[in-house]
Structure 1
Amino acid sequence: MRKADERAYLYEILLRKHPAIRHVKLTAELGSVAVWFDPRSLPKPKLFALLDAVLGNLGDATPFQKVAVEDESVHPERDFNLAVEGMTCASCALLIEMVLRRDPRVVDAKVNFATETATVRARMDRDTLNGKLAGIGYRIHSLDSLAQRRMQLERENLRIDEARKRLLWASLFSVPAILLGMAAPHTRIVGIVELILTAPVVLWSGWPFFDKAVKLAKQRTANMDSLVALGVGSAFGYSLVSLLRGKRDLYFEAAAAIVAFVLLGRYLDERAKGQAHEAIRRLIDLQPQTANVLRNGMEVTLPIDDVVVGDLLLVRPGELIPTDGIVVYGLSTVDESMITGESMPVVKEIGLPVTGGCINGNGSLQLRATAIGADTVLSGIVRMVDQAQAGKLPIQKMVDQVSAVFVPAVMGISALTFVGWLAAGASASFAFGASITVLLIACPCALGLATPAAIMVGTGQAAKRGIFIRNGESLEMASKLTAIVFDKTGTITEGKPQVTDLANLCDWPDDQLLALAGASELHSEHFLGKAILAHTREMGLSLEEPSAFQNEPGRGVRALIGEHTLFVGNRQWLEEQAIAIGPAEKIASKLAAQGKTPVFMAVDGQLSAVFGIADKARGNAREAIAQLHAMGVKTLMATGDVQAAADHIAALVGIDHVIAQARPEDKLAIIHDLQAKGEKVGMIGDGINDAPALAAADVSLAIGGGADVALQTAD
């Protein structure tokens, strides 16, 4: 067993199938195995006997011929995102993974049948990889850019058309053959008519089954196509021989019927996959296929794949932005609802970033391309949907294990059926017919398709509604959640806070004070900071770029504006700077009682103002919380806001437990405390201060318009 990877892999699989064995860990390099088992069901002496028996049954198989590993300088390690053509069931994906992982040049390989995609990390070029899979009957295509993904979807449409065509012809010929076989006497003339009707079904409509089965047989492997080919070929061949010998035991109509039924299943599978890919198709359609590039002062229209980083692009009013970039000239509004979910267009001026796929407003923009192809935000969203659809749930991993042994098990049962009927005294023709029946009824691929199809359709429908799921595991875990922790601002509330009050506690004019406050929040990602900035811009105030800026998550900001040092944030932030807030106590309490959040501002160490900021609860928040309570899920709000404002919002939406003035480490501690009590915890947030808690939660959800760190941390 030592250093025999193939035998070690098989040994572990066979041991795991015993119901009394809980877990197996095998190290081929050392020739050692660790087994976790139930001693009540499998006493230790019987375990040792089982280990010896399984190892002995493996025999001394010829080791797999290793490929000579080339120098890494010739082919460095690369990642391939691929579309795979030719897979017909889940065992195809397992076969491709096994073949790839046998090659020492392949570092990792993951193949998903439902999405017909593969992710491979290997030290080889694409042609070598393609040749390797072509040898077992599959073709691959690159998915590095949105244009290549668009081509994959077009090929998918062609496959659906081809599947429809084969099904149509198979049905046209097999239905009369089945009726004839059921109603007419089994005479030689009827048999010849059945042969004429079923030959096109088996030899043309069913030809892909035989083609794939032969290619797999050359590699000494088998899958569902092998079952179909073996069953249909046996039935058709036996019937042909019987017809020539003048016998009446004919199965022409059975062979044609199986081909037609399996083709119907394949066609429905292709359609289901096509519908689930609709979400990705719509995302891909957001990117225009051409871009207007300015080169040497001349405008040139180029395919999007020919655009390179650094190109100067021209975007006219109403056009889709071709790729990610930075505005270098012009002023316009851009509809970024695709990314942020916000319906209001965003003003874009020189120096601001734009995202490919968004819609330009009434102005013309010139932008410098900063990302192309697979590096754009839109491609990243498509990859997230792909990854979620390709993720295997814990239950699906169990299904994969069953699928891996399903085909050889069915073939074995078919052989035993034949031998058993012969031993029981039945005729060879009857025994053969029974064994064929076993092969034919085992052909459908629902076992391997059901779970990945459910993931694919679920995540696809979610993507249509603007919900992007990173991994399939979170789908299964989400159903087991017992407690959910909510952030307040931007999560339970709309995330569109507005400045409603300004209490000026110094001698500065309001406009000058507001200009300093807005300037200090220029680089803030917090919703309250954005509210102050938006308020100052609405008033048309001129804002000075801060020469220094510090963001303290869960506290506030520190900024140096000209010669003035500003602190803007909550009570704790100012108290940590030894700034007395006594004069503002009553003002803050009054604002909080009204459901408004007080934000304190100090200039040069002196308390200067208190802002009152209000944010409405989302319209469906109360209904959503009520549904969670009806499902038995506990809800809790953890927010950095003051207690009175937090209590006000919690009362509006129906949350009973509130933890106010919570810092990032406090939110993280809340998650850990709930988990220590045995709860399965979900966390919903949107800001940088939520990222630690999002990472620690069993399932994490981030609001689309939130900070990038929160989005990248969430499931």
Structure 2
Amino acid sequence: MDAIQVVHQLRRRVRVVVPALKGEAERLCLLEILLRKHAAIKDVRVVPCLASLAVRFDPKAIPVDNLLRLVDTVAGNLARAPKQAPTSTHCDEGAVGEISVAVEGMTCASCAALIQMSLSRDPAIRSASVNYGTATATVVGRLDRPALEARIRALGYEARPMDTLSQRKMIVERERRHVKEARRRAIGACLLSLPVMVIGMAMPRSRFWHVVEFALTTPVVLGAGRQFFTRAAKLARNRTANMDTLIALGAGSAYGHSVSSLLAGRHHLYFEAAAGIVSFVLLGRWLEERAKGKAGDAIRRLLDLQPPTATLIRDEIEVVVPVDDLMVGDILLVRPGERVPVDGSVTGGRTTLDESMVTGESMPVVKGPGDPVTGGCINGAGSFRMRASAVGQDTVLAGIVRMVDHAQATKLPVQRMADRVSAVFVPGVVVVAGVTFATWIAGGARFSTALGNAVSVLLIACPCALGLATPTAIMAATGQAARRGIYIRNGEALETASGLTVLVFDKTGTVTEGRPVVSHFAVRPGFDASEVLALVAAAETGSEHHLGRSVVDYARLRGIEPRPADDFNAEIGKGIRARIGRHVVLVGSASYLAEEGVAVQVPSLDGQTPVLAAIDGTFAALFGISDRPRPTSAAAIARLHDLGIRTIMVTGDVATAAHHIAAEIGIPEVVSQASPARKQEIVAELRAAGESVGMIGDGINDAPALAAADVGFAIGTGTDVAIEAAPVTLVNGDIAKVAEMIELSRKTMRIIRQNLVWAMGYNTIAIPGAALGELSPMVASSAMALSSVSVVTNSLRLQKDK
């Protein structure tokens, strides 16, 4: 390949890099458009800043080698084409992609609402979502990254890329520095404010003490609190407002009134209120940022799994290089105690790996030549060499981080309602404060009293608690789930799982171990057993099904190394047809062979799954295949029943084998010999009957049902198609995690409801109280700060569940 480098290759998806087009957003968009025109290509995703291209295709319509040659030719032609002067910052109409960036500078939910509203008005953007809790923005459309970042900067905020693990680490490090800076500001402001408050409570009439108050308050308001005024001014130029606007108005009014009164020789000063407002808000924001940081600990732990450097073997010389510089095919050395830098396979040496942080598997796993290794795992006592097979965005660890990121940034329906309230909250509060001031003045109150009550209204109002109610709970819950080996693609799955009433289970590889073995093999008289076994195993080499792999393993145990089939076609859920030399081989169920014109009667195999084989149109052999239930399956099903959830097994296996396994683990309802379409129909029928349905599966034949269910749970040891179709992945395949996920989701929704009730109830009671003069500005500012902290602290209770 001249123009492309293959980064990652699966049966139905490849990812390549086009180095010559790095940063060439328009040409990459054009490459995407050209590739999409090919009928065999199902989807194309481009990351311009990395010149990365992910292509999903139909391997039956276009072999992978042909696809790579096509991509290489088209990319090469585009790279060699002369450059044209750019005419637009947007890609062509057909090139639609998703971009996520980290947003810095948001101080409340109104900030997120402002950015989202502004981005949504851009005709190049189909949808935009900005999450205050996770400080991220995600857009889908034709806007490229530099244009998106420019739009966000124009509103007074900073946007940072977060595509790679290294970029995410930089963002996390910036967040840590931000929390430290917030702590320094808060402590400094509080130390200066305390004596001001003590003096203010004494209500001195001496000008000396008034000057002391002024001297201590000025650095608090104009130093530590300068950020509120600069942000409010920037927002005012954009004709918008947020929580900083309310604080700037409140603290600025109190400070300005006090300075003018001091100069005029009057005694009604509010220096303690101005200093207290800024100090309490800074203290609250520090505690809030610190608590939000704890909610994001799951991401931090995942990012720390990737080592910053790796030992590259180049011409038998060891060279330490940054992980970001590694390429597919590089040979790496991993020493005892080091973390595996990227995904790959062992080429030399033997060792044990601790895979617990990635897969949840507690016991060390022995690895030798040819065995796959996952980036982020800790090496045991042995050294080994490995060949990198996936780097950068394509590693398992990067995929997990993206999944957790996406789940935490998802907005639930309840949060969208809170966003709508936050969008009009600040302007509404300013109006209420103005009405409060005018009403008190009209009623004959002193100017200082009216001003104090208006300032209290400005400060007591808090859209922050409303904006944090949902995302902090989701962050804490998805982080807790990730630590348990449950990876959630989106927050909606977390919400929906709390209301599941029925769970539909696949059998093989889901409730069973997925390692079926041939326990019975019989050949029809007139056929040679070794020849039949060799032909059937050759036919099954192209299959991804567990049963097919068991036949291949059985043949190898008997000393037969199957050759690849000359032609292969799979009827999902039924069987396969293959041509090996001059023979046509059919392997599958009795019904599949009957459809192909081969009549056969299947004897009872006492709980085993029968697999039949026909050669050249004649029934030739019968395999009996057995698979043991997972050790945790029976306890997992019992736990689900305790939660009030109905369980059903729907499998493509025969009735005897299906009922045998179901009875062993305690599933009362069984549907056997179900095709993929039938599985999907059963899920649809249950949903039509008013049930909320979860589907648990691991194979290609489960993908339609996983996608059709309210929540799909994919077994992490299953196929890529199943994992892509489901919003929840159980990394180590333990179905006991399903019950844990449901319990966690119920607790999460309960905490979200508590947060929303508190946030809305607080504002409903506090604003009228402030308008009626029941709260001083200092008390109002402290209450506002504590309201946000209480919501985040309540969400953090999710991280304490074991």
Of the candidates 77, 87, 110, which is equivalent to residue 71 of structure 1?
Answer: 87
Is the alpha carbon distance of 1:323 and 1:527 closer, same or farther for their aligned partners in structure 2, counting shifts above 3 Å?
same
Give the residue type in structure 2 aligned to 1:637.
Answer: M
Residue 313 (structure 1) aligned with residue 346 (structure 2): no
Return the letter of the residue paired with 2:671: I
User: Residues 146, 226 of structure 1: CA spacing in aligned structure 2 closer, same or farther, 3 A cutoff?
Assistant: same
Alpha carbons of structure 1 residues 387 and 213: separation in structure 2 relative to 1, 3 Å: same
Provide the C-alpha distance between the structure 2 equivalents of 1:188 and 1:303, rounded to a whole number of angstroms: 64
- Counterpart for residue 272 of structure 1: 291
Q: Aligned equivalents of 2:214 and 2:555: distance in 1?
A: 84
- Report the counterpart of residue 60 of structure 1 in structure 2: none
How far the C-alpha of 1:426 sits from its partner, in A, is: 1.4
Q: Against the structure 1 CA distance between its residues 523 and 419, is the aligned structure 2 distance closer, same or farther, given a 3 Å change threshold?
A: same
**Structure 2: gaps spanning 5 or more residues:** 1-84, 728-802
Task: Return the TM-score normalized by structure 1.
Answer: 0.80
Q: Deviations over 1:46-88 (max 9, x none)?
A: xxxxxxxxxxxxxxxxxxxxxxx97248866675432211111
Deviates more, 1:97-106 or 1:438-447: 97-106
2:138 to 94, 111, 119: 119
Tell me, yes or no, if the aligned pair for 1:686 and 1:703 is still in contact at 8 Å. Answer: yes
When residues 558 and 142 of structure 1 are mapped into structure 2, their CA distance, relative to the original with a 3 A threshold, is: same
Report the Cα offset of residue 512 of structure 1.
6.3
Structure 1 residue corresponding to 2:174, chosen from 142, 151, 155: 155
Kindly state the Cα deviation for residue 679 of structure 1 after the two structures are TM-superposed.
Answer: 1.9
Which residue of the partner structure matches residue 392 of structure 2? 373
Q: Deviations over 1:377-413 (max 9, x none)?
A: 4323222211111111111110000000000000000
Structure 1 position 251, deviation (Å): 2.4
Q: What does 1:155-234 align with in structure 2 at a 5 Å threshold?
A: 155-182=174-201, 185=204, 187-234=206-253
- Check 1:253–1:443 CA distance in 2 against 1; reply closer, same or farther (3 A cut): farther
Q: Secondary structure at the match of 1:212?
A: helix
Structure 1 equivalent of residue 676 of structure 2: 664
Amino acid paired to 2:681: A
Separation in structure 2 between the aligned mates of residue 679 and residue 121 of structure 1, nearest angstrom: 32
Q: Given the alignment, which residue of 141, 144, 147 partners 2:163?
A: 144
Amino acid at match of 1:674: L
**Secondary structure at 1:705 match in 2:** coil
Secondary structure (helix, strand or coil) at the match of 2:621 reads strand
Pairing partner for 1:606 from 619, 636, 652: 619
For 1:690 and 1:436, the matched residues in 2 are separated by 60
Contact conserved, 2:306 with 2:375, CA < 8 A, in 1? yes
Normalised TM-score (structure 2): 0.72
Q: Any idea what SS the aligned residue of 2:717 has?
A: coil
Alignment of 1:339-350 (within 5 A): 345=365
- 1:616 counterpart letter in structure 2: P
Counterpart residue number, 2:663:
651
Give distance in 2, aligned partners of 1:456 and 1:468: 12
- Residue number in structure 1 paired with 2:511: 492
Structure 1 residue matching 2:696: 3-state secondary structure: strand
Q: Counterpart in 1 of 2:71?
A: none
| Greater relative contact order structure (CA < 8 Å, 6+ sep) | 2
Contact 2:552–2:562 (CA under 8 A) maintained in structure 1: no
After the TM superposition, which of the residue ranges 372-381 and 507-516 deviates more from structure 2?
507-516
Q: Output aligned runs, 1:85-484, within 5 Å.
A: 85-104=104-123, 106=125, 108-120=127-139, 129-182=148-201, 185=204, 187-293=206-312, 299-308=318-327, 312-316=330-334, 320-324=339-343, 345=365, 356-357=375-376, 364-365=384-385, 367=387, 371-443=390-462, 445-484=464-503
Cross-structure match for 1:707: 719
Whether 2:629 is the aligned partner of 1:616: answer yes
Contact 1:332 1:360 in 2 (8 A): no
Please say if residues 691 and 713 of structure 1, whose CA atoms lie closer than 8 Å, have aligned partners that are also in contact. Answer: yes
Q: Tell me the CA shift for residue 537 of structure 1.
A: 4.8
Contact 2:502/2:645 (<8 A) preserved: yes
Using the alignment, how far apart are the partners of 1:394 and 1:401 within structure 2? Answer: 11
**Given the superposition, is the C-alpha separation of residues 227 and 610 from structure 1 closer, same or farther in structure 2, using an over 3 Å criterion?**
same
What residue identity is the alignment partner of 2:625? G
Q: Does 1:693 align with 2:705?
A: yes
Alignment CA distance shift 1:302-1:157 (3 Å): same
Distance 1:426 1:524, change over 3 A: same
Give the superposition deviation at 1:467: 1.3
Change (3 A) 1:406 1:519: same
Is contact 1:581-1:607 (8 Å) kept? no
Matched, 1:523 2:542: yes
Q: How far did 1:331 drift?
A: 7.6
Q: Deviations over 1:171-224 (max 9, x none)?
A: 323334334433565654443343344333323322222221111111111111
State which of 600, 625, 642 in structure 1 corresponds to 2:637.
625
Q: Work out whether residues 512 and 627 of structure 2, in 8 Å CA contact, stay in contact via their aligned partners in 1.
A: no
Q: Structure 1 counterpart of 2:576, which letter?
A: V
Q: Is the 8 A contact 1:341 1:704 kept in 2?
A: no
Measured in 2, the distance between the counterparts of 1:527 and 1:160 equals: 50
**Shift in Å, 1:508:** 6.7
Once the two structures are superposed, residues 255-306 of structure 1 have per-residue CA deviations (whole angstroms, 9 ceiling, x without a partner) of: 3333233223322332233223322223323333234445567554322223
Structure 2 letter corresponding to 1:397:
R
Counterpart residue number, 1:24? none
Separation in 1, partners of 2:486, 2:305: 17
What SS does the corresponding residue of 1:453 show, helix, strand or coil? helix
| Equivalent residue letter for 1:257 | G
Which amino acid in the other structure matches residue 312 of structure 1? Answer: D
8 A contact 2:521–2:621 mirrored in 1: no
Distance 1:433 1:531, change over 3 A: same
Shift in CA distance, 543/122, structure 1 to aligned 2, threshold 3 Å = closer
Could you tell me which residue of structure 2 aligns to residue 585 of structure 1?
603
**The residue matched to 2:236 in structure 1 has which SS?**
helix
Aligned CA distance change for structure 1 residues 663 and 74 (closer, same or farther; 3 Å):
closer
> Among 668, 679, 692, which residue is 2:691 paired with?
679
Distance in 1 of aligned mates of 2:349 and 2:538: 21
Q: 1:89 offset after TM fit, Å? A: 1.4
Shift of 1:321: 4.5
Change (3 A) 1:269 1:533: farther
Describe the shift of the 1:675–1:346 C-alpha distance in structure 2 as closer, same or farther (beyond 3 A). farther
Letter in 2 for 1:606: F
Q: 1:605-631: per-residue Cα shift (whole Å, max 9, x none)?
A: 323232231222442x34443443344
For the residue of structure 1 that corresponds to 2:564, the secondary structure is coil
Q: Which moved more, 1:340-349 or 1:475-484?
A: 340-349
Letter of the 2:504 counterpart: V
Q: For 2:442, give the aligned amino acid.
A: A
Distance in 2 between residues matched to 1:496 and 1:341, nearest whole Å: 19
Report if the CA contact (8 A) 2:110-2:463 is conserved.
no
| 8 Å Cα contact 1:262-1:443 kept in structure 2 | no
Q: Is the contact between residue 567 and residue 602 of structure 1 (CA under 8 Å) also seen in structure 2?
A: yes
Amino acid in the other structure paired with 2:304: D
Instruction: Tell me the equivalent position of 2:38.
Output: none
Deviation readout 1:563-590 (Å, 9 max, x if unpaired): 55443333323333343443x413x2xx
Q: Secondary structure, in 3 states, of the residue corresponding to 1:615?
A: coil
Q: Answer yes or no: is the 8 Å Cα contact 1:82–1:140 preserved in 2.
A: yes
- Secondary structure of the residue that 1:579 maps to in structure 2? coil
- Give me the whole-angstrom Cα distance separating, in 1, the residues matched to 2:112 and 2:552: 53
In structure 1, C-alpha distance between the alignment counterparts of 2:521 and 2:719, rounded to whole Å: 27
How many Å separate the matches in 2 of 1:532 and 1:446? 59
For the aligned residue pairs, the C-alpha RMSD in angstroms reads 3.3
Secondary structure of 2:486's aligned partner: coil
Cα distance change, pair 444–125 in 1 and its aligned pair in 2 (3 A): closer
Given residue 548 of structure 1, which amino acid in structure 2 is its aligned partner? D
* AA of the residue aligned to 1:652: E
CA separation of 1:417 and 1:296: change in aligned 2, threshold 3 A: same
